[in-house]
A and B are shown apart, each in its own frame.
Chain A
Amino acid sequence: MEVSLEAINKSFGSVRVLKDVSLHFPSRKFVTLLGPSGCGKTTLLRMIAGLETVDSGLIRFGDKVVNQLAPRDRNIAMVFQSYALYPQMSVRQNLAYGLRVRGTPKAARAEAVERVARILEIENLLERRPAQLSGGQRQRVALGRAMVRKPDIFLMDEPLSNLDARLRITMRAELRRFHLDLGATTVYVTHDQLEAMTMSDHVAVMNSGMVQQFGTPAEVYGRPANLFVAGFIGSPPMNLMPGRIEAENGVPVFANEQSRVPLRHLTQRLQVGQHVVLGARPQDLHLASSTDEASAHGRVWVVELVGSEKLVDIDLGGKRRIAVQVRADAHVREDDPVHVRIDPAQVHVFDASTERRVFEAA
């Protein structure tokens, strides 16, 4: 079942939480709404669920407008951040409740519960109450409750945020597998970019009630549409350096006090004097041995070892620092003078006033 959102608006009092949001979620895909807290992603999810009214705009499931449909008539399932298990019911009753209120015969109900319990490996917990379960077990029961009805659309509101780090990593893979097995359209809300990148077919990056970019994880990471996406996606975060465009032999060059980067591939797109922000991921920067191939110079401010890599913070002077990721065995020490090579093909250029990406000529 595909889901379309057309020009959705929503205000709480005088606060506009969603501004003209339009999105199209293809059928059977795993789509993530990603953004910082307060960006409206959960509100949007609750609207799809029917738990929140829509001020203006249309929500369609397939061809059908569902704005006025009650949650129970939408054939959706939802996993809540807090799990929201029914405290006075056993796990078995929790799983069966959706089928019970929909009038599924007892035998079919029992069969469905057994099937889901087997998949989620919670067969031995069926007689327990939610209070007697660990966080991970509750999470599974919440998932099971959503799976048992074979919904068209599977909604998840930060389902992993209450789990410890290790369990989160295993559950990530499991959720992705469940999605593939269920064959439902999944809409997943998170503020964790790692979850979004690893699990999704498509990511909608949101900020202050607007969709900033909608695309595959590779697109969102590789070609961020604006400064917000560039800064939000990627860890460690992208280096962002403000500067101006100058011309050198007819080629536009990004320039500020600390660095110069020729931008040959953007010749048609940039004007001399234009204020821009240059973005470069720490992974795409290199330490250079000689001055001539380098685009910036500075002094090592701090070196952080992060497992197989080192993150080198370099002070370029003028209170400006950039981070460069190098292999863990590289010899870099604090206060060493270093040269940084910025590969023009790997940088992202954003217009400083519109904050939009300057795209390469098609």
Chain B
Amino acid sequence: MMSWDFLWRHTGRAVIFVTLCGLTFVVCFPLVWALSTSLKPKTEIFATPPTLIPKAPTFENYAALVTGRQQYFQSGGQQVDTGATPAQFFTRWFLNSLVVTLGSTLISIVVSTLAAYSLTRFRYWGRTFVPYFSLLGYMVPSIIFVFPLFLMMVRLELTDTLLSLVLGYVSITLPFCMWLMWAFMRSIPIEIEEAALVDGATRMQVFRDVVLPTALPGIIAAAIFAMIVSWNDYLFGRVFLNSLDNLTLTVGVMLFFEGTHVDWGLLMAACVLMTVPMAFLFMGLQRHLVAGFGAGAVKG
């Protein structure tokens, strides 16, 4: 006979398991459905009953996006206005997103790491409250920043350039990255830097050989944050950019909805391609987030 304790423990586990399964399903289903739709030929997309696994999988949607084939968009039985179509610009937008994301992340990381090092290691007025103020800035919704920033970009004659977007993203990611790095740097024991100084290293050598490798998990966390914000942003891209050549993926993909005809297969393929880089990045880097953080540096 099973004891109550036994039952209780196993029911508890079962409940947790089922809940987690449910949550996983809710989170993953849209992604799975997008992937499924992107692999279906047009005839199958609206088929009833809907199929989760395409009967006749095709990569024609992806091929169209990657090669920017115009005629594909016009096929499918209906004649849509010729001229520029979103698919033609897809690779360009992808590249733009990549440039803007990497650019803003690089600037944010370099500046925030150096700033955090300075804030935690040198004594000067304001070093105690600057980190908290920087966090305050992040708590304000970015819609409040976007128009003042836009006006500044107009003054600087940077509107409709990728540089404007890079600067815009830096303005929202840098404060948080700095706060993150500041919190991280504080946890790095100062003795290991002093040991390096006594060993004969210069300040820059200490920073390069000792601080940076120890701070790497923090840097990766900050970089992931900055990349996700920049890659997924719609608002700044929408406001700052207008010529088709300069759009980023998020803004560009919205154009697939324009007009009377929505090519769902194409749209879903674009979404999948947008998701993939971030997903792989995250999977590749996440083990660095916790691995070997400061372990064994001091005490026992």
Contacts and interface: CB of A to CB of B under 8 A. Distances in A.
Interface of A: 49-51, 70-72, 76-78, 80-88, 97-98, 101-102, 129-135, 138, 145, 149, 162
Given A82-B191, A97-B199, 8 more contacts: A51-B197, A72-B197, A78-B198, A83-B298, A86-B196, A88-B216, A101-B196, A101-B205
Contacts of A83: 298-299
Contact of B198 (A49, A82, A135): A49
B297 A133 contact: no
Nearest to B192: A84
Contact of B300 (A51, A78, A162): A162
A84 B191 CA distance: 5
B296 interface: yes
A134 B214 CA distance: 20
Interface residues of B, number: 26
Given A51-B197, A78-B198, A97-B199, A131 B192 contact: no
Given A70-B197, A71-B197, A135 B210 contact: no
Contacts of A101: 196, 199-202, 205, 209
B201 A130 contact: no
Q: Which of B191, B198, B299 has the most CB of A within 10 A?
A: B198
B57 interface: no
A101 B201 CA distance: 6
B297 A80 contact: no
Nearest to A72: B200
Q: Which of A51, A84, A133 has the most CB of B within 10 A?
A: A84
B295 interface: yes
A50 B194 CA distance: 10
A145 B299 contact: no
A133 B296 contact: yes
Contact of B298 (A70, A78, A82, A149): A82
Contacts of A134: 300
A97 B194 CA distance: 13
B297 A98 contact: no
Contacts of A138: 296, 300
Contact of B296 (A49, A130, A149): A130
A77 B189 CA distance: 19
A51 B194 contact: yes
Contacts of B189: 82, 84
B213 interface: yes
Given A86-B210, A87-B214, A88-B214, A97 B296 contact: no
A87 B205 CA distance: 16
A133 B216 CA distance: 22
B194 A80 contact: yes
Interface string B38-55: 000000000000000000
A97 B298 contact: no
B185 to A, nearest CB: 14
A69 to B, nearest CB: 12
Contacts of B295: 87, 129-131
B63 interface: no
B76 interface: no
16 contacts: A49-B194, A50-B198, A71-B198, A72-B199, A72-B201, A82-B297, A84-B191, A84-B298, A86-B210, A86-B213, A87-B192, A88-B214, A97-B196, A101-B205, A132-B296, A138-B300
Contacts of A70: 197
A11 B205 CA distance: 30
B200 A102 contact: yes
Nearest to B190: A84
A145 B296 contact: no
Given A88-B214, A97-B196, A97-B199, A162 B205 contact: no
